[in-house]
Structure 1
Amino acid sequence: MQADTEIYLRSIKAICPDLREEELSQFAAKLTLQELDKKDIFIQSGKVQQSLGFVTKGLIRSFFVDLNGNEINVGFYAEGDYATHYPAFISRQPSSYTIQCLEPATFLCLKFDDLQWIYQQYPKFERYGRLVAEEILKRQQARIESFVFQTAEERYLDFATHHARLFNRVSLSHLSSYLGIERQTLTRIRQKIAHK
């Protein structure tokens, strides 16, 4: 767990370098390690998320099931990302999404009550929480706007550019669902780009 904790604390220090070692060690003391296998569920839709999960190893996806029973992917998260349906987590509401491992994954988890305690005891962590929340909001907004302003091909190229480290780790079926297109359409787009 020590190596995983160091990864997490480094990511916190990169965003909030003024946090003291004492504050970071108190934060680290609240963390628990969770290891899951491929296809295991970290968060089940319809349930309240108990802990925020920081991914130190592996790849996960967030999805919902539509009225026709299709799984629609809304996000992929790898090392250094959070496994969360954040608005539901902070409002203590049931999640609309299921979060599932696409690879064996390791998470450092922080319970909601422990997060609130950290904010109370060490106000500098509130800045970290705000910056993480802002990043989540920016990503969600970019995803919404991609469906408004971009073609399917542009969404594909954007994913390839901005998520290069995930590109070869996500199956075509999962990627086509995320992009909002049929798998055959994704294959045609890839072929067209390959022949340019």
Structure 2
Amino acid sequence: MKEEFQTYCDAYIKLFPHATSEELDVLRSQLIIKEYGKKEFFFSCGDVQKNMGYVCKGLLRRYYINEKGNRITTGFVKENEYATDYPAFIRQKPTKYFMECLEPSIIIELSYVNIQEGYKRFKNNEMYGRLTAEYVLTVQTDRVESFLFENAEERYLNFLNQNPDIIHRISLTHLSSYLGIERQSLSRIRSKIAKK
């Protein structure tokens, strides 16, 4: 294994502070680490996602294609976040989304089969599974509520506050799609804020 990869695996293992040495040994043996190029897909619409991804390095965009053929961005996944369409993953159903690398990325993967076996074998694994599910649910709920209770400027400002590390790594086109506004409107919002 590349030394760089070993460093990523060691960092990932630290996410499980309550795991026993036996649990960690099993987990280490199951991890797959892969490199993806810019514009490569972690998964595509229609795929059944076999592996949960954890981004060590890079940035991905989740999007779907609407009835007009437009690509609608629904999320960004950066370092130390999970790359998944979680509801489809846990049901092993085809996803409706694309997960595309916006940058060269390194992703640790753990298979659905190994995750399920871990739940059966180790009590701690169930806890980590629950924490992952809670995180994903919170992110999805926050996004839905942002459209219900915030205007476009508030959504933009909240995105800036929550993602200062990626704002310069994504295009205005992708960001305006994610925020649900036209690119020209986003430019106006940015100009207005810059003048304050």
Question: What's the TM-score once normalised by structure 1's chain length?
Answer: 0.96
CA distance in 2, matches of 1:102, 1:90: 25
Residue 22 of structure 1 deviates from its aligned partner by: 2.3
Aligned residue identity for 1:118: G
Counterpart residue identity of residue 132, structure 1? T
Corresponding residue number in structure 1 for 2:7: 3
Question: Any gaps of 5 or more consecutive residues in structure 1?
Answer: none
Which residue pairs with 2:156 in the alignment?
Answer: 156
Determine what percentage of the aligned residue pairs are the same residue: 45
Tell me the residue number matched to 1:177: 177
Task: Give 1:58 deviation, angstroms.
Answer: 0.2
User: CA offset at residue 47 of structure 1?
Assistant: 1.3
The letter of the residue matching 1:46 is G
Following superposition of structure 1 onto structure 2, how do residues 77-92 of structure 1 map, counting pairs within 5 Å? 77-92=77-92
> Post-superposition shift, 1:86?
0.4
- Please report the TM-score for the alignment, with normalisation by the length of structure 2: 0.96
3-state SS of paired residue (1:62): strand
Deviation for aligned residue 1:96: 1.0
Ranges in structure 2 where 5+ consecutive residues have no aligned partner: none
Cα distance in 1 between the residues matched to 2:148 and 2:11: 36
Structure 2 residue aligned with 1:42: 42
Please tell me the root mean square deviation across aligned C-alpha atoms, in Å.
Answer: 0.8
Shift of 1:28: 1.5
Partner of 1:165, secondary structure, is coil
For 1:94-118, what per-residue CA distance to the aligned partner results, in whole angstroms no more than 9, with x for missing partners?
A: 0011000000001111111111111
Runs of 4+ in 1 over 6 A off after TM superposition: none
| SS across alignment from 1:94 | coil
- Identify the residue that residue 114 of structure 1 maps to in structure 2: 114
Supply the distance in 1 between the matched residues of 2:131 and 2:158 (Cα, whole angstroms): 23
* Number of residue equivalences: 192
Which residue pairs with 1:187 in the alignment? 187
Mapped partners of 1:168, 1:24: distance in 2: 36
